[in-house]
Amino acid sequence: MNNSALLKILKVESDEWPTFAQMLGHSFFNSLGIAFSFTAINVLLINLHGIELLPWIYLFGGLMVLGFGRIYAYLESRVPSVQLFAGVLLFGVSWTLMARGLTVWGDTMLMLAVLYALYLALYQLINLEFWGAAALIYDVRQSKRLFGLLSTGESVAKMGGYLATPLIVSVFSLSDLLFFAAASFGISFFFLFQLSRVNTRALDVDHDHHHGDHQVFHRKSLLAKFLEIIPKIKDSYLKITGLFALFSAVVYYLVHYSFLNRVEVHFDNIDELAFFFGMFFGIGKGINLLIKLLLYSRIFNNMKIGFIILLFPLTIGVLALFGMVGQFFVADDLIFFLWVFGFIMLMDEVFRTSIYLPSFFVLFQPLKKHQRLEGHTIAKGYMEPIGMAVAGLLMVALMWQNIFRLNIIILFLGVAAFCWIGIGILLSGKYREKVSHLLKNRLLTSSNIQLTVDEMEVLSGDEKSTYDPVTQLYRLKLLGAQMPLNERNSTLIELLKSDSEMILYESLSLVDEYPNEVFWPYLIEMLTHPDHLVCKRASFVYCKHLQEESLEAMEGVIRESEGSRLEYYLAAVLKYSGLYGAIQYGRILMEMIGSENAADRKSAARIVALIGRSNYYHPLTILINDSDKKVRKEAIIATSKVANDRMLPLLIRRYRETDISRYAARAIEGFGPVALPYISRELNKLYPREDLVRFVKLIGRIRGEESEKILFPLITHKDFEYRKEAIYGAFRMGARFADREKISALEDVLKLELEVFAVLKNQIYRKEGLFENHLCEAFRNEIRQIKGRVLRILGLIYDKHLIQRALDNLRNRDAFLRSNVLEMLESEIKMKHCKMVIPILEFKLSGVSPEGNQNEAISRTRVMSELLDKPLIGISDWTLALLIRYYRENDLSMDHEHLKRLSEMRSDVISQELNN
Amino acid sequence: MEFLVDKVFSLKSISVFESLPEASLLDVARIMEIEEFERGEEFIKKGDIAEDMYIIKSGKVEVHHDGSVLAVLGENEIVGELAILAPIRRTASVSAITDVIVYRIGREFFMDLLYEKPELMSDIIEVLIGRIINLNEELKKYKSIIDKR
């Protein structure tokens, strides 16, 4: 088996391999050191003093480990990560040498207890060190894929270490075992050094996040510093993960004690103990390793992380329940508990590091770098020792009450396990929320801006006395209807005297809402206001409320004006001043329509637009066919304001004119669903394909159920361009196809996209691909487009906002943020859909082939069959055109059926290449 | 006949378009028109509002201002690149010094295309933002040189 095949099986990408191998080596030697240390300290404890000391060790060891956790967290925010990690390994070597000293120079109960507690601290620190480094190096998607594999180093080492222990102890001695442990930590240091050289940037953490914390820590008294040991966790997500870790630890130490308690009864000499520990844990790690290699990736590919973290607690819960109930049905409960606790301990060995811990650490990976480390420290550095101390305290309390029996412990174990499961369920939901929340939301729109109750109170209460015009404006807008008439009028008059165009413009809409004759003199003045918008709104509000009476004032301003002001005045009187105004000024409008000057005709179109009444459509039927493009453009814009259905056929005809189609499209959109039957009819005509595709696009711009009905069949249309536009259009309008039949049709489209993706990916990985720039770029671009399309298809099945958030964030340069997007999708959508889209979304367009672009077996001529033999073509005209050119330039012959299919596509670029 | 595929390859030489996917440029290629100018013809006048951008397909042109020649441009070179994005005034005149064939892209057509293809618009925005970022970097570099002095 060559290296690339191995990487493929392990699902490690080629560029990840050097770091992965170093991490694996680091994990192996860390764990070997721990396995030797663990065996040595447990054998010493049981052999020299007995198991009764253990609850006290848990209790005080827990506090000691908590202190070490605190020191680690303190240093973590001050010392560069690599130095801190190296310090942990140095502590490991020191501990083994201390333990060796104890075995040589004799021991006391206190010394052994201290040494055991220090071992527990070492175990925590080694965990923090290794998983901390992994957390900094990998993003959430890599973590899910690699964390389990990384811990195989640990399984292999511990299995080997435990199994080698009886041999080492029989050939050398128990104290020599500790030398082997020291050597392991030393070699691990070498791997850490290598890692730090390759991953300098990843292992660098921004320490600014913690600075405030240090300063506070420094200034406090000794007592306050001691109290600092109790962690303060602000983030609710970290609190819940911390609680989850706490119960995990309580369960572990209860099981650990109960297991050792049973073992102690059965073995009483050092060789037998070493042999039993070696074999028991060796077998446990063997099964653990098999699970990692055979089941790990299947579990992580088929289950969501929220469920995976529950697998282990559920197993322990069920076994504890079995123990609680089973004791009543057996004759010898001591033997029964040996089996029960032995089996639970074995399950713990099997599942804790293979499934549980990798999935638990993945929970922190969507967070920012410093929060990831904080999460690890809280879970392993704080909560585990607290859990240990709680377990110890519980056992000491039971001893004190003389009820320290295994049937009582199994009861506590059951309660702890079910609390653990409950918190796990809560955590699973929180994880989904957190991943979603961590992604940046889209920009707020004005619809999100709302006044709070407090702001409303300010506006309606004390602010009465203020003369700030903006505040008064808001008061009138929000509370105008409830205000006394006099107060409202006087406030509004004050505003109409303002120098600010913005205040005047807004005040005019209030005049429109609360008309009163006291305002008219101010409006007449504003008819000639220098600001065009104020002048325009004043004309319309004045004519609207005074109708025929407005003519007197308007006559004067019309006579003296020209350009856009004349357009406003004429539109206002024609719209509101009744029959007399229409007769008097309609004549001017007709003259403008018939004018030889294009500027007059353009003005006429704008006046009609300003009037915006459907009975004014007739002038537009003339202007929309004008010889001048700019007049046609204005007429089209006016059509959308006039909104008379009779204009639709004319507009649709204009839509096919490329130079003004943008305006025609907007005008047609303005008609809304009324326009749909007209557009649908066009789809059946023999227009060029580009025009028909544009009509599909136009349907996608009109929101509503009717559009969705027309678009849905187009999503599965045989023409790729139709399908593409229909998907984009349906997604844009927020269509959702929830029924089973439609979802199944969308899944078929997703499958096609996945198949095309596989073909293109292989083509990119082809050896010669490196030298075919245009073609390779086209394939990469196709995959880029497929990424966008599959997400939009998901948006038709799931919530559009979720998918929009994914689309927005996938463009981000931050790889960690992009990996969070995939994690969010995996949390929110069904696994079967994940399997269709995640491989596409995860594909690195700039990456290299895992085979190193050496795959010569993939023929370029095969690509045509792979793409064209499918019932639906799933690739753009551009790429097909380039492929045709490639065939021609390399004198390759094309299959007759493929030629036929290509020529039936009615694509300009493909036809050109075929005819060349 | 000029092939769309070749037109796309020509578009790749324009800095605004160089980093855009070729498939997206196919739509731009569709709105490109061929135009011919005779030797000596002034097809861009200084002070006019720019409506079109030109890619020289064959021949040579000179860019001149108040009687002095600022540049001579040839095959695959661009005249008035920014005109397709904004209606700016021409800062110099351009005349053909040989018979010239050019591709012309009109702003109105291009704007229509952007309306129809928002994805193209976002690609162009990314290119422009990239340029702003690069300019800022350059400015920072120059500022630090000046500060050191």
Look at the block and give the residue holding tokens 């929110």: A828
Q: Which of residues 659-698 of A touch B (CB under 8 A)?
A: 659-662, 665, 690, 694, 697
Do A97 and A154 share a domain, yes or no? yes
Do A475 and A426 share a domain, yes or no? no
Domain assignment of residue A147, yes or no = yes
Rounded to 5 degrees, φ, ψ at B64 are -135, 155
Contact A694 B116 (CB under 8 A): yes
Do A433 and A486 share a domain, yes or no? no
With beta carbons under 8 A apart, name residues in chain A contacting B112.
658-662
| Rounded-to-integer distance, Cα B63 and Cα B78, Å | 11
Does pLDDT of A13 surpass 90?
Answer: no
Of A345, A323, A326, nearest to A259 by C-alpha is A345
With beta carbons under 8 A apart, name residues in chain B contacting A661.
112, 116
Q: Does A889 touch chain B (CB under 8 A)?
A: no
Question: Average pLDDT for residues A797-805, to the nearest whole number?
Answer: 87
Domain assignment of residue A715, yes or no = no
Residues forming beta bridges with residue B93, ordered by sequence position: B64
What is the model's pLDDT at position A213? 44
Does pLDDT of A706 surpass 60?
Answer: yes
Domain assignment of residue A756, yes or no = yes
What is the model's pLDDT at position A2? 57
Outline where chain B has alpha helix (H).
4-11, 22-30, 107-116, 118-148
Quote the distance between the C-alpha of residue A686 and its chain's center: 45
Does pLDDT of A504 surpass 70?
Answer: yes
Question: Average pLDDT for residues A446-469, to the nearest whole number?
Answer: 54
What is the model's pLDDT at position A856? 53
Give the other-Cβ count within 10 Å of B141's Cβ: 10
| A658-670 pLDDT, tens digit each | 667 778 888 888 8
- pLDDT-based confidence at B138, cuts 50/70/90? confident
ipTM score above 0.90: no
Of A720, A713, A758, A769, nearest to A737 by C-alpha is A713
With beta carbons under 8 A apart, name residues in chain B contacting A916.
3
With beta carbons under 8 A apart, name residues in chain B contacting A665.
115-116
Q: A385, A404, A438 — which closes off a domain?
A: A438
**Lowest mean per-residue pLDDT among A371-380, A527-536, B70-79:** A371-380
Question: Average pLDDT for residues A417-434, to the nearest whole number?
Answer: 89
Domain assignment of residue A349, yes or no = yes
What is the model's pLDDT at position A791? 94
Do A805 and A898 share a domain, yes or no? yes
Shortest distance, CA B130 to any CA of chain A (angstroms): 13
Higher pLDDT, A452 or A514: A514
Shortest distance, CA A893 to any CA of chain B (angstroms): 20
What is the model's pLDDT at position A211? 45
Does pLDDT of A445 surpass 50?
Answer: no
Does pLDDT of A206 surpass 60?
Answer: no
Quickly list DSSP for A593-641.
HH-S-HHHHHHHHHHHHHH--GGGHHHHHHHTT-SSHHHHHHHHHHHHH
Do A423 and A496 share a domain, yes or no? no
Domain assignment of residue A713, yes or no = no
Q: A391, A422, A438 — which closes off a domain?
A: A438
What are the tokens at B110? Answer: 């291009």
What is the model's pLDDT at position A417? 92
Question: Average pLDDT for residues A396-425, to the nearest whole number?
Answer: 87
Could you give all domains of chain B from N- to C-terminal order, each with its CATH number? 4-148 (2.60.120.10)
Sign of dihedral through CA atoms A707, A713, A715, A718? negative
**Nearest CB partner across the interface for A659, out of B24, B26, B108:** B108
- pLDDT-based confidence at B97, cuts 50/70/90? very high
**Nearest CB partner across the interface for B4, out of A694, A697, A908:** A908
Question: Average pLDDT for residues A537-556, to the nearest whole number?
Answer: 91
Do A486 and A397 share a domain, yes or no? no
Question: Average pLDDT for residues A690-711, to the nearest whole number?
Answer: 88
> By CA distance, what is A886's nearest residue in B?
B5
| Rounded-to-integer distance, Cα A731 and Cα A623, Å | 36
With beta carbons under 8 A apart, name residues in chain B contacting A878.
8, 22-23, 26
Angle at A312 between CA A148 and CA A303, to 5 degrees: 60
Chain B residues within 8 A (CB-CB) of chain A?
1, 3-5, 8-9, 21-24, 26, 30-31, 106, 108-109, 111-112, 115-116, 119
Q: A672, A702, A730 — which closes off a domain?
A: A672
Contact B26 A909 (CB under 8 A): yes
The three-state secondary structure class of A716 is coil
Question: Average pLDDT for residues A212-226, to the nearest whole number?
Answer: 47
Do A793 and A843 share a domain, yes or no? yes
Domain assignment of residue A215, yes or no = no
Contact B30 A908 (CB under 8 A): yes
Report the predicted TM-score, pTM, of the whole model to 2 decimal places.
Answer: 0.69
Do A535 and A624 share a domain, yes or no? yes
With beta carbons under 8 A apart, name residues in chain A contacting B24.
781
Identify whether the C-beta of residue A649 lies closer than 8 Å to the C-beta of residue A619: no
Instruction: Calculate the dihedral angle through the C-alpha atoms of A825, A827, A830, A835, rounding to the nearest 10 degrees.
Output: 60
| B39-63 pLDDT, tens digit each | 999 999 988 888 888 989 899 999 9
Higher pLDDT, A264 or A117: A117
What is the model's pLDDT at position B22? 83
Look at the block and give the residue holding tokens 């000046």: B146
> By CA distance, what is B126's nearest residue in A?
A811
| A222-245 pLDDT, tens digit each | 455 544 545 566 778 888 898 899
> By CA distance, what is A629's nearest residue in B?
B108
Does pLDDT of A436 surpass 80?
Answer: no
Do A404 and A480 share a domain, yes or no? no
With beta carbons under 8 A apart, name residues in chain A contacting B5.
881-882, 885, 909, 912-913
Domain at A167, CATH number: 1.20.1250.20
Contact B5 A882 (CB under 8 A): yes
Do A804 and A769 share a domain, yes or no? yes
Output Rg (C-alpha) for chain B, integer angstroms: 17
Contact B112 A662 (CB under 8 A): yes
Domain assignment of residue A413, yes or no = yes
Q: Does A875 touch chain B (CB under 8 A)?
A: no
Do A85 and A158 share a domain, yes or no? yes
State which H helix or E strand residue B65 sits in.
Answer: strand B61-65
Contact A781 B23 (CB under 8 A): yes
B1, B5, B17, B20: best to mutate for the A interface, most A CBs within 10 A: B5
Does pLDDT of A101 surpass 90?
Answer: no
| Average pLDDT value for chain A | 81
| Rounded-to-integer distance, Cα A747 and Cα B51, Å | 46
With beta carbons under 8 A apart, name residues in chain B contacting A882.
5
What is the model's pLDDT at position A727? 93
How far CA A430 is from CA of A210, A305, A385, A423, in Å, comes to 25, 12, 24, 10
Rounded to 5 degrees, φ, ψ at A491 are -65, -45
- pLDDT-based confidence at A207, cuts 50/70/90? low
**Nearest CB partner across the interface for A878, out of B22, B109, B115:** B22
Q: What is the largest CA-CA distance in chain B?
A: 59
Domain assignment of residue A218, yes or no = no
| A144-197 pLDDT, tens digit each | 778 877 777 777 787 777 777 777 777 777 777 788 888 888 888 888 888 888
Does pLDDT of A3 surpass 70?
Answer: no
For residue A587, the enclosing domain spans: 463-672
| Rounded-to-integer distance, Cα A186 and Cα A180, Å | 10
| Rounded-to-integer distance, Cα B144 and Cα B137, Å | 11
| Rounded-to-integer distance, Cα A753 and Cα A757, Å | 6
- pLDDT-based confidence at A212, cuts 50/70/90? very low
Number of folded domains that form chain A:
3
What is the model's pLDDT at position A525? 92
Does pLDDT of A679 surpass 50?
Answer: yes
Do A638 and A784 share a domain, yes or no? no
| A870-906 pLDDT, tens digit each | 888 889 999 999 989 888 888 888 888 888 988 888 8
Q: Give the whole-number percent of chain A exceeding pLDDT 90.
A: 17
Identify whether the C-beta of residue A96 lies closer than 8 Å to the C-beta of residue A37: yes
Q: DSSP character for A152?
A: H
Helix axes A705-715, A676-683, angle to 10 degrees: 20
Q: DSSP character for A16?
A: G
**Nearest CB partner across the interface for B22, out of A659, A778, A913:** A778
- pLDDT-based confidence at A21, cuts 50/70/90? confident
